Structure 1
């Protein structure tokens, strides 16, 4: 469990600098340069993520059960993942109405993903991993929206074509993951 916690601290710590210390981040980035900042950020993120994944895998070998999941939560969580995939795709497809409306679809995708996995899982490691990421995504979304308001950020309007592509690609990615890739990667069939 130590590796999971350390991985979470590093990964979420790096990803929380803008939430809690944006002025410090801007100063360091200006002093060392954008590329050096991005390089250090990326290396720390990858290290933390690797530690987090390894620690979670180790914790799954000897799970500490916290509650008995309700019948159907796994299926409900799998269905919640559909909007999560669509939101994730919306972060990358240009000129889609979803990004135009919510502004930070990737953070919302993490929020829905974490909530879905909290509903479907019931161990201490699950609570640490998904609960931490849910809390981080709530704080990050709030912080991002505040920065947008302060900067007067205006997001371009989406087009119908961009939105249709976003929903279609998100739905296909969700289906591939739900019916094949999740079992292959994690040994769990969401609808199995």
Structure 2
């Protein structure tokens, strides 16, 4: 469990420096250079991610159950991850109305993903992993939206065709992940089998 917690602290912490430790980040870039900062950021992110994966995998071997979710929550979780994938796609497709409306679709997608998994999973490791990502995404979303409003930042929409592309890409990615990759990578098949 310690590896999972340490991984979350490293991964979510380094992904929060621009917002919650901006002066320290700037000082590091000034002292070491942008390329060195990006290297440091990448290494800490990777170490954090690997610790999360390893720690969560270890915790699943002897789970501490906090609650037992009914079987139907797995179907609800699968349904809630559909908008998560669409929002993720909208993050990388410029000019969508989705991004124009929500500002930071990836963070909203992380919220959908985390809530879906909290509904369907009831171990302490699940609460730490998905609850940690949910808390991080909520806090970051609030800070970024406030910063955007204060700076007058907007994300212009080009046309509905971009939204259609984001929806199709998100749905295809969801199908591929739900039907094949989730089982292969995570060891759990959302639709049985």
CA distance in 2 between counterparts of 1:22 and 1:3 reads: 27
CA distance in 2 between counterparts of 1:9 and 1:54 reads: 14
1:90 is matched with 90
Contact 2:14–2:44 under 8 Å retained in 1: yes
Contact 1:81–1:174 under 8 Å retained in 2: yes
Alignment of 1:40-189 (within 5 A): 40-189=40-189
Asked whether 1:16 is paired with 2:16, we answer: yes
- The alignment of Structure 1 onto Structure 2 pairs a total of residues equal to 192
CA distance in 2 between counterparts of 1:186 and 1:21 reads: 33
Pairwise CA distance, 1:187: 1.9
TM-score, normalised to structure 2, is 0.94
Pairwise CA distance, 1:9: 1.1
CA distance in 2 between counterparts of 1:153 and 1:63 reads: 44
1:48-93 alpha-carbon deviations (Å, 9 max, x no partner): 1111111101111111111111231110000000000000000111
Q: Unpaired runs of 5+ in structure 1?
A: none
Pairwise CA distance, 1:26: 2.8
Instruction: Return 76-85 or 171-180, whichever deviates more.
Output: 171-180
**Which SS does the other structure have where 2:92 is aligned?**
coil
CA distance in 2 between counterparts of 1:3 and 1:80 reads: 28
